[in-house]
Structures are given as C-alpha cells and as structure tokens.
C-alpha cells in the first residue's frame, strides 16, 4: 500500500494524563489514504483514551492531531465535520429509535437544512429529507441491515447493533473511520463478516484505524499494527514484526497472540 507524502491522519506526541496517571504517553501514529491500521494492547493500555484524544472527547495534555494536514480542534462535532467518524467500545445507539432513524442522526453533520427550514417544512426540507433517507437506506443495504430499517435499535442482536454503529458512523461521510472493538461480542461467523465489511469500507476510499483484541481479525485486515502497552507505543509494523517482538510477547504474559480471546464488552467505555 503506497501512502501520499502527507498522511491522511498524523498524530504527533499525544500524551493524556489523568491526575497522576499517564494513560497515553507520547504516542505518534500516521494513517495513509486507503490504509487499514490496527491498534492493539492489553486491557487498560490506553487504546480507547487514544481514540478519545483523536476525536475531541479529551483534550490531550500534549501533542497534536492533524487530519489532511490541518490541526484538528478538540471538539467532537468539528472532528466529525472534518471527516473522522468513530464507533464506541460501549455501543452508543439511540435504543428507542429505529435503525433507519439512528443512521439519519449520523447524517446531520452533512445536511445543510437548518432549524427554520425544519420547522417550516418547505419543499427544500422535504427534498433534503428524501435524499437523506435514500442515503441512509443505501448504508443499511451496504451493512446488511436494510430488512430491519424499521426495527427499534434495542431489539437488534448484539452483532447487528455493532453494524448499525458502523452504518451511523458512515452516514457522516468520513474519510477516516475509527473502530473501537468492532467484533466484541460477535460470534466467529459474524467476525468474519465484519472483516469483509471493513474491506468493503476501505474499497469505498475510507481509511480505517481499528482497535481489537481478536488478533486473527487484526492480522487478516491490517496493513500495519501498532501496539500500546501502559500508554506507550512499543512497536509498530506488519504481522511478523509485531508477533515476534519480545516486548509484545511479554506484555501479553507470554500467551501466543493467536490465542487471545476477545474481551467481554464493558459498560464504562
């Protein structure tokens, strides 16, 4: 995979401290156009915190995040507008809204219709709404959820809720998608289908940065993988580089990487 001179995402020296705890310590990382990059590491290594620093949920103590060569302001809606979308380790859907409505919410950063037009509900509003619904349905087709468009999000099985999170993130028309444990709670068949979905997203021209504990998923998909341990990036490279690195093996307490089991979903992230 070739990368352009200026990477799509360029993270330099990001540090995040919470009081005395340094959750992310001087981490730099790039994602090029069309790349799928993995981020792995033991529980509590700082992976989700790193995502939160990229997406404006946290203001990093130090460091900068550039997207398309522009420094990102640490505000979630501005990050989304700039072209970065994400899913959450702890699924954040509107449980009592339909599947289609959840995707429509994801589109709002890309629709120009303002509040007055929505109140007046003139022709421009109806046109924009019809277009939004059409695009949202396309995304539901793409993620395999079209038949459930009218179901309430909370009634979807867990694996489909994860897919819906991805559909909603795609609705903001990102150039970069951040996935935080997209296969947590999925069975092996769903996990393999999720791999296909990630490749299909990349084939749409969207770059991907993905956190996962499932090593097979990571190494099947990723052009490069970075390993975080106690907030620090200890190694980055292809499958062989990562799997043979002594520090990685030690960090995983000597367990072969192939045998790592996916972590149970948690409620706090």
Q: Could you list the residues that contact ligand ATP (CB under 6 A)?
A: 18, 21, 23, 41, 43-49, 89, 263, 269
83-112 residues in contact with Mg ion (CB under 5 A) are 89
Question: Whose Cβ is closer to ligand ATP: residue 34's or residue 265's?
Answer: 265
Q: Cα(159)–Cα(233) distance, rounded to whole angstroms? A: 30
Question: Whose Cβ is closer to ligand ATP: residue 51's or residue 219's?
Answer: 51
Under rule CB under 5 A, residue 48 binds Mg ion: yes
State the nearest-atom distance from the C-beta of 126 to ligand ATP, in Å.
43
Q: Cα(176)–Cα(78) distance, rounded to whole angstroms? A: 14
Helices 158-170 and 99-107 meet at what angle, rounded to 10? 30
Residues linked to residue 235 through DSSP beta bridges, in sequence order? 227
Order across the sheet with 21-31: list the strands: 21-31, 9-18, 62-67, 70-71
Q: Cα(89)–Cα(266) distance, rounded to whole angstroms? A: 8
Question: Whose Cβ is closer to ligand ATP: residue 240's or residue 267's?
Answer: 267
Let me know how long the chain is. Answer: 269
Under rule CB under 5 A, residue 55 binds Mg ion: no
Q: Which does 54 bind (CB under 5 to 8 A by kind): ligand ATP, Mg ion, none?
A: none
Q: Which does 46 bind (CB under 5 to 8 A by kind): Mg ion, ligand ATP, none?
A: ligand ATP
Under rule CB under 5 A, residue 183 binds Mg ion: no
Q: Which does 49 bind (CB under 5 to 8 A by kind): Mg ion, ligand ATP, none?
A: ligand ATP
Question: Whose Cβ is closer to Mg ion: residue 178's or residue 198's?
Answer: 178
Q: Which does 183 bind (CB under 5 to 8 A by kind): ligand ATP, Mg ion, none?
A: none
CA end-to-end distance (rounded Å), the chain? 32
Beta strands at 224-229 and 232-237: parallel, antiparallel or unpaired:
antiparallel
Check residue 60 and report its DSSP letter.
-
Q: Cα(100)–Cα(188) distance, rounded to whole angstroms? A: 26
Question: Whose Cβ is closer to ligand ATP: residue 49's or residue 207's?
Answer: 49
State the nearest-atom distance from the C-beta of 256 to ligand ATP, in Å.
19
Residue among 222, 223, 230 at smallest CA distance from 252: 230
Question: Whose Cβ is closer to ligand ATP: residue 128's or residue 263's?
Answer: 263
Instruction: Tell me which stretch binds Mg ion (CB under 5 A): 40-48, 95-103, 144-152, 185-193.
Output: 40-48
Compute, in degrees rounded to 10, the torsion defined by CA atoms 211, 61, 13, 109.
50
- φ/ψ region of 181 (left if φ > 0, alpha if ψ in -120 to 50, else beta) reads left
Instruction: Tell me which stretch binds Mg ion (CB under 5 A): 43-51, 54-62, 105-113, 124-132.
Output: 43-51
State the nearest-atom distance from the C-beta of 28 to ligand ATP, in Å.
17
Which spans of this chain sit near Mg ion (rule: CB under 5 A)?
A: 47-48, 89
């Amino acid at each position: 995979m070739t990368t352009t001179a200026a990477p799509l995402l360029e993270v330099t020296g990001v540090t995040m401290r919470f009081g005395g705890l340094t959750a992310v310590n001087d981490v730099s990382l790039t994602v090029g156009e069309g790349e799928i990059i993995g981020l792995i590491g033991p529980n509590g290594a700082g992976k989700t915190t790193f995502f939160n620093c990229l997406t404006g949920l946290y203001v990093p103590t130090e460091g900068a995040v550039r997207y398309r060569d522009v420094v990102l302001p640490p505000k979630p809606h501005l990050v989304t507008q700039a072209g970065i979308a994400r899913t959450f380790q702890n699924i954040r859907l509107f449980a009592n809204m339909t599947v289609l409505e959840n995707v429509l919410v994801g589109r709002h950063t890309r629709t120009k219709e303002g509040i007055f037009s929505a109140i007046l509900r003139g022709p421009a509003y109806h046109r924009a709404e019809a277009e939004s619904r059409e695009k949202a349905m396309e995304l539901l087709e793409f993620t395999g959820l079209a038949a459930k468009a009218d179901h309430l999000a909370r009634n979807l099985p867990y694996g489909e809720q994860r897919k819906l999170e991805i559909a909603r993130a795609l609705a903001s028309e990102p150039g970069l998608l951040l996935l935080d444990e997209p296969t947590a709670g999925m069975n092996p068949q769903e996990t393999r289908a999720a791999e296909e979905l990630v490749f299909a997203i990349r084939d749409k021209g969207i770059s991907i940065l993905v956190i996962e504990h499932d090593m097979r998923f990571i190494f099947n998909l990723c052009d490069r993988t970075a390993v975080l341990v106690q907030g620090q990036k200890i190694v980055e490279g292809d499958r062989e580089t990562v799997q043979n690195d002594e520090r990685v093996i030690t960090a995983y307490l000597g367990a072969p990487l192939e045998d790592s089991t996916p972590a149970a979903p948690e409620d706090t992230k």
